[in-house]
Amino acid sequence: MKIKKVTALVLASVMALSLTACGGNKNETSEGGEAKESKGVIELKFPTYLAGENVGATFFLPEIERFNEKYEGKYKITVEEVPQASYADKIKQLAQQNKLPVLVHAPGSGGIDTQWFKQIVLANDMAYDLTEFAEENPDVAANWIPESREFCTVDGKLICKPTSVLKPVGLYYNSSMYTPDKDIRDMTVDEFVDSLGDNKIAFMTAENGWTTALMLTALIANEEGGVELLNSSVNDKLWDYSAPAFVNGVAKLQTILQNNASSNTVGAAYADAANAFMSKNAAVICNGSWMAPEFEEGSADKWSNGFNGEDVKATIYPGNIAFANPSSYGEFWIANTATDEEKEAAEAFLAFRDSQEEIEELVLTEGGVAPQLTYSDNFLAELKKTPLLYELSESMNDETTYCASLGDVFPASVADTEFGKLLPKLIDNTLTPEEFCDELTKKAEEAKQ
């Protein structure tokens, strides 16, 4: 009898413990990524959002393949595909567990916010100092934009790889629906709104309200003191939205949203806004150069209602304003916890990414400018074959004003959710522009530590 009881007790204990074990990590390798050396090849694995349906995948995944091909037998990179919306959460969780992947996307990309980066990563010395890497690779460092390099240098340490390519954000319009008398760049905001007539703009209110935030940035930048307000708020973020430039910009946005927004604006996510534009339900969409491949023949399966990518024109905003923020954290940083082999492979990748060939390939695929680079003749010839990117780069002249976008100056939770959530109330007049700005200020206040 006693044996039966003891056996039952042991079984009960095993069952209880196995329940706990079920919740445990099944493998011993790092969740964030790993590096292992087999037959002399240093293999590196890290998560990225530049994969799957993300527009950045078009360039990034082939770039990884080119890297693996070039360094065959020495380094090998494999990526773990993570949706953009989950990337930042994953990285934050891995940081808490001290299991950061070797290469991490820089703040300002993939939802990684600068507040977290400063408060957690920099405060706890989790980013590897790339100063030595810069000294050992002067040809690579020469391609970096000086403002970005300065921004990435914190307490004498180079904590991110600075950016080499600026991707100015402008707008696209469908010339078969909307034919402005002159370049939008040379118009005032009022002239632009008048010129639209009944044409619609593809706005969003869901997700982060990205395309709407871009238009609001342009409207604020056209107000007196607007550009200064935006550009001076990049480092410490903008927490108070009661400045006249901001309130006036919101007032103009309200009018545009009520008169010229595509019918699906309320509740529209990015895909809905893009769909409105590529189905001729909207004549204008605000977005960056990375959207240009959507208007090439290869993406024709996304077009409907007689939309033709050849009709799309690119330019910048009224008042000769383009959004670009050279004072940014660049593209990638290396975790301090990585082993020497991992750091070696990661640095090789960063050097590869900033080689002349790769930079030119990036500009040809996603658009942008590399101000520190002397372009090759071949590149210039190829650029002319991508008319939209060429148009966008030609639309900027010596008098163009560059300013940071709201995405660069909003605190993370305001940029990610709160801005978009308040927009429907601005559209249906539940909130006046002043009340909208007050609510936004309250939300920013809540996000403060």
Partner 1 sequence: MVKKQKVKISKLERRNYKWIYLFLLPSLLIFLIFYLQPIITVFYTSLTKWDGFNTPVFIGLKNYMDMFTNDAFRISLKNILLWSLIAGTLHVGFGVLVAFILYHKPKGWKFTRAVFMVPNVISAAAWAMIYRFIFNDDMGILNNIIRKINPDFHIQWFYESPYAFWAVTFTWLFYAVIVTLIVLNDLMAIPEELTEAAKVDGATGWQITRMIHLPLCRNAIGTGVICSITSRVAMYEQIALTTAGGPGDDTMNLPIILVKAIQDMKYGYANANGVIMFILGLIILAIVNRVFKMNESVY
Q: Match 């910048």 to its residue by tokens.
A: 316
Question: CA-to-CA distance for 117 and 419, rounded, in angstroms?
Answer: 22
Nearest approach, Cβ of 12 to partner 1 (angstroms)?
5
Residues 271-290: b if buried by 16+ CB within 10 A, e if exposed: ebbbbbbbbbbbbbbbbbbb
- Residue 220 or 422: which CB sits closer to partner 1? 422
Nearest approach, Cβ of 189 to partner 1 (angstroms)?
26
Nearest approach, Cβ of 128 to partner 1 (angstroms)?
18
Question: CA-to-CA distance for 248 and 343, rounded, in angstroms?
Answer: 49
Residue 201 contacts residue 301 (beta carbons within 8 Å):
no
- Residue 251 or 447: which CB sits closer to partner 1? 447
Give, to the nearest 10 degrees, the angle between helix 57-70 and helix 356-366: 160
- Residue 304 or 376: which CB sits closer to partner 1? 304
Secondary structure string (H, E, C) spanning 102-122: CEEECCCCCCCCHHHHHHHHH
Question: CA-to-CA distance for 59 and 317, rounded, in angstroms?
Answer: 26
Nearest approach, Cβ of 50 to partner 1 (angstroms)?
22
- Residue 2 or 26: which CB sits closer to partner 1? 2
Within 13 Å of residue 288, how many CA atoms lie on the same side as its CB? 20
Positions that interact with partner 1 (CB under 8 A): 5, 8-9, 12-13, 15-17, 19-20, 89, 95-96, 115-116, 119-120, 123-124, 205-206, 263-264, 266-267, 411-413, 416-417, 420-425, 428, 430-431, 439, 442, 446-447, 449
- Residue 95 or 334: which CB sits closer to partner 1? 95
- Residue 141 or 412: which CB sits closer to partner 1? 412
Query: What values do phi and psi take at 317, rounded to 5?
Result: -85, 160
Nearest approach, Cβ of 5 to partner 1 (angstroms)?
6
- Residue 125 or 136: which CB sits closer to partner 1? 125
Question: CA-to-CA distance for 91 and 113, rounded, in angstroms?
Answer: 11
Residue 103 contacts residue 44 (beta carbons within 8 Å):
yes
Question: CA-to-CA distance for 361 and 374, rounded, in angstroms?
Answer: 14
Nearest approach, Cβ of 272 to partner 1 (angstroms)?
8
Nearest approach, Cβ of 232 to partner 1 (angstroms)?
23
- Residue 111 or 293: which CB sits closer to partner 1? 111
- Residue 205 or 222: which CB sits closer to partner 1? 205
C-alpha distances out from residue 249 to 1, 14, 214, 228, 244, Å: 83, 65, 11, 14, 8
Nearest approach, Cβ of 415 to partner 1 (angstroms)?
11
Question: CA-to-CA distance for 427 and 407, rounded, in angstroms?
Answer: 21
Nearest approach, Cβ of 302 to partner 1 (angstroms)?
16
Residue 429 contacts residue 233 (beta carbons within 8 Å):
no
Question: CA-to-CA distance for 231 and 308, rounded, in angstroms?
Answer: 36
- Residue 84 or 137: which CB sits closer to partner 1? 84
Nearest approach, Cβ of 14 to partner 1 (angstroms)?
9
Question: CA-to-CA distance for 437 and 254, rounded, in angstroms?
Answer: 12
Question: CA-to-CA distance for 15 and 175, rounded, in angstroms?
Answer: 68
Q: Which two tokens stand for residue 179?
A: 């034919």
